[in-house]
Structure 1
Amino acid sequence: MTQPLRIIFAGTPDFSVPPLQRLLDSPHEVVAVYTQPDRPAGRGRKLTASPVKQLAQQHDLPVFQPVSLKDPDAQAELSTLNADVMVVVAYGLILPKAVLDMPTYGCFNIHASLLPRWRGAAPIQRAIQMGDAETGVTIMQMDVGLDTGDMLTILKTPITADDTAQSLHDRLSQLGCDALMQTLDDLQAERLNPVKQNDAEATYAEKLNKAEAEIDWSQPANTLVRLIQAFNPWPVAFTQYDGQPLRLWRAKMGQETVSEKPPGLVISVTKDGVEVATGKGSLILEQLQPAGKKAMAAYDFAQARQLTGQRLGTEQAR
C-alpha cells in the first residue's frame, strides 16, 4: 500500500498544530480538518478561531466545526470524505463508535503520555507533578473508552529538572509528529503491531483546577518545586504575600534539611533567588509575579522589600 493516505485531521489547540503541519509537508492528503467551534478569547471576548483552524485556512483546507459528532448530520458529512485514517490530536470532542469505524483504518490518536500511565486530560502536567523520570507519546488506535485503545507506536523522552509543562508540551508535540509519521509508514508497509494496554497499570490524569495551584508550604520542597514547574504556564502556582496573591513561575531545590524553621518562612535572599522553608527542606523561588505586575526575577522582587523573616501563604496553606 504505497498510495498516499486520505487523512481527516481533528485537533484544536497549539499542541495539535505541528502534527497537522507535518502531515501537510508529507505525501499524504489531508482531505478535511475538524476543530472545535470558534470561542470568545482575549479581553474583548472576540470569537477566535482555534490554532488548528488558523493553519487549515492558510492552506485552504475544508474546515468542519460541529458542536457534537453524535449528530447524525455531522456523521453523514464525515462519511462522505472517504478517509483512510482520521488523526486525532487534542480535539476535545468525543468520537462515537460510528465515527471511529468510518475511516478504512479507523482513528489514530496522539496521546502525550506513556500509556496506560496518565490517561485523561492533563498527562503532561501530572507526569511532572508526580516526579516521573520519563514520559513520551503513544499513538493509539482509538476505541470508545477513555484513552484505552491498542498502542501502535511509543516514543519516550526524559523529564529534566528544568522542564515546565510548557517546555515538555512543546517537545512532546514534536515527538508526536515523529511517532505519527512512523505509524503511517508502518500502516502502509503492513507492519503495524497493535499492543493491548494493561488496564491494571492505568493511572488517571485529573483535569487541572486553580484551587490546587495554591502552595501548601507544609509539603516537602521537592513536591512543591514539581508543582510549580507542572503548573507553568497554567494555572500557575501561587501563594499569599502581604494579602495579595503572588504567582510562582520557577523554583529549584534549596537545602535538604532546614532546622526549626516554620513552613513558608523566607530564610534568605541571594542572587539565586528567594529561599523559603517548607515541610521538608527549602526551595528557592527563581521567578515570580506580584499582583498586577509582570513576571520578574525573585531577587529583583526582593530588592524593594524586606522579605527575610517574613512568612508566605495564609494560615491554612502553611
Structure 2
Amino acid sequence: MKLIFAGTPEFAALALHAILAAGHQVTLVLTQPDRPAGRGMALRPSPVKEVALAAGIEVFQPPTLKDPAAWERLRAEQAEAMVVAAYGLILPQAVLDVPRFGCLNIHASLLPRWRGAAPIQRALLAGDAESGVCIMQMETGLDTGPVLHSGRLPIEPGETAGSLHDKLAELGARLIVETLAGLPGTPAPQPDAGVTYAAKIDKAEAQLDWRLPAERLDRQVRAFNPFPGAVALLDGVPVKVWRAACATDENPGAAPGTVVSAGADGIAVACGQGVLRLTELQKAGGRRLPAAQFLAGHPVRPGAAFALPA
C-alpha cells in the first residue's frame, strides 16, 4: 500500500521498520521537530526520522497540523492510509480525512482502558495483570475510535516500563502489518464500560511516599524506570531508585521511611505496610549502582530516615 507514517520515538520506529520490511510504500514520514539533547544540547533527530532517512524517505516536520498548508502537503501524497504511532501532535479532522482508509493508530493498551498519553506507566502503577496493543481507526476524540485489531500479553513480575515498552513495540509492529494486509477490515466500536485515562506522567509523581504500602511503591519504581526514575530523599539529597523488591509480609515496627537494614542485598526501608528493599540506586551526577556498590561510596545505616513528601 501507499502510506504516510507519523511517529516520533523508538516505539514508532520499530513499527516503521516492520511496515517497510512488509513491502509497503511509505512516501512521506511525519515526525516531531529535532530536539536538543545530550550534554552539548545539540539538535538530535527522532528515532523515526533516522529510520526514514536511512530508507530514503522524505521527512516532514511541521510544528502543528492545524495549518491548511500541511493538509495540502498530505493530500498531495494520495496515500491509501496513514499509520500513526506516538507522534505527539493532535490530528484534526481535515487530516483524518486525507487517506482513503483513514488514519490508523498503534496504541499501547487494551482499549478502552488507558486512553491517553502514558498507558504503559499507568498500567504498571495500577497493578494491571496484562497489557496489549490496539490498532485503532482514529477519530477526533482521545483514543475513542473503533478497534481493527488487537493483541494482549501478561505483565510479568518485575516488569518495568522499559521492558514492557519493548514487548509492546514488537507486538504493535506485528499487528499493524497484519492490519494493513486486511484493510478495510471491520472495526469494532469500543465498549462504553471500562474507560480509564492515562494522564501524562508528571515528574512530581516520582517521589516515593513511604507511608504507602511497599507493594504500591514497588509498582511506582517499575513504572518510572526508565523515565523519570523514582526519587527518594535522604539527608535532603535526591536519590534515584531504579530497582527494588517488596516484602509485604514483613512488619519492622518502624516509622515509614526508616532504614531497617542495609547490606549487599539492598537497603530495606519501612513502609506504611511491609518493607521495600532498594537494590539499584543513583545519586545526582553519579552512575546507577547495585546496592552493595552504592553503600560502599554512600554509607547508609539502620535508623537513618528517608524524608516523607509534604
Question: For 1:249 and 1:203, how far apart are their aligned partners in 2?
Answer: 27
Aligned equivalent of 1:54: 50
Aligned equivalent of 1:18: 14
Task: Report if aligned partners of 1:9, 1:33 keep a CA contact under 8 Å in 2.
Answer: yes
1:295 equivalent to 2:288? Answer yes
Question: For 1:203 and 1:299, how far apart are their aligned partners in 2?
Answer: 40
Task: Report if aligned partners of 1:274, 1:299 keep a CA contact under 8 Å in 2.
Answer: no
2:256 to 243, 258, 263: 263
**Which whole-Å deviations, capped at 9, do the CAs of 1:257-315 have from their partners, x for residues lacking one?**
3142111111112432111110001111110102221110113222451421211124x
Aligned equivalent of 1:39: 35
Task: Report if aligned partners of 2:82, 2:104 keep a CA contact under 8 Å in 1.
Answer: yes
Alignment-mate amino acid for residue 214 of structure 1: Q
Structure 1 residue matching 2:105: 3-state secondary structure: strand
1:256: how far off? 1.5
Question: For 1:291 and 1:40, how far apart are their aligned partners in 2?
Answer: 21
Aligned equivalent of 1:307: 301
Question: For 2:146 and 2:304, how far apart are their aligned partners in 1?
Answer: 53
1:255: how far off? 4.4
1:201 equivalent to 2:197? Answer no
Runs (5+) with no aligned partner, structure 2: none
2:100 to 104, 113, 119: 104
Report the identity percentage. 50
Question: For 2:248 and 2:44, how far apart are their aligned partners in 1?
Answer: 46
| Number of positions where the alignment pairs a residue of Structure 1 with one of Structure 2 | 309
Alignment-mate amino acid for residue 88 of structure 2: G
Task: Report if aligned partners of 1:254, 1:275 keep a CA contact under 8 Å in 2.
Answer: no
1:200: how far off? 3.4
Task: Report if aligned partners of 1:31, 1:62 keep a CA contact under 8 Å in 2.
Answer: yes
Question: For 1:266 and 1:90, how far apart are their aligned partners in 2?
Answer: 40
Alignment-mate amino acid for residue 70 of structure 2: A
**Which whole-Å deviations, capped at 9, do the CAs of 1:136-189 have from their partners, x for residues lacking one?**
0000000110100001111101111211111111111000011111111221xx
Name the TM-score, length of structure 2 as normaliser: 0.96
1:31: how far off? 1.1
Question: For 1:64 and 1:292, how far apart are their aligned partners in 2?
Answer: 37
**Which whole-Å deviations, capped at 9, do the CAs of 1:174-221 have from their partners, x for residues lacking one?**
00011111111221xx5x221111233210001111111111000000
Q: RMSD over aligned Cα, in angstroms?
A: 1.3
1:279 equivalent to 2:275? Answer no
Relative to structure 1, is the Cα distance of residues 306 and 71 closer, same or farther in structure 2, using a 3 angstrom cutoff?
closer
Matches within 5 A, 1:1-318: 5-187=1-183, 192-304=185-297, 305-314=299-308, 316=309
Structure 2 residue matching 1:199: 3-state secondary structure: coil
Task: Report if aligned partners of 2:235, 2:307 keep a CA contact under 8 Å in 1.
Answer: no
Task: Report if aligned partners of 2:262, 2:300 keep a CA contact under 8 Å in 1.
Answer: no
**Which whole-Å deviations, capped at 9, do the CAs of 1:108-159 have from their partners, x for residues lacking one?**
0000000000001100000001100000000000011010000111110111
Structure 2 residue matching 1:200: 3-state secondary structure: coil
Structure 2 residue matching 1:232: 3-state secondary structure: coil
Task: Report if aligned partners of 1:249, 1:288 keep a CA contact under 8 Å in 2.
Answer: yes
Structure 2 residue matching 1:286: 3-state secondary structure: strand
Question: For 2:68 and 2:192, how far apart are their aligned partners in 1?
Answer: 32
Question: For 1:111 and 1:307, how far apart are their aligned partners in 2?
Answer: 45
Runs (5+) with no aligned partner, structure 1: none
Question: For 2:42 and 2:295, how far apart are their aligned partners in 1?
Answer: 38
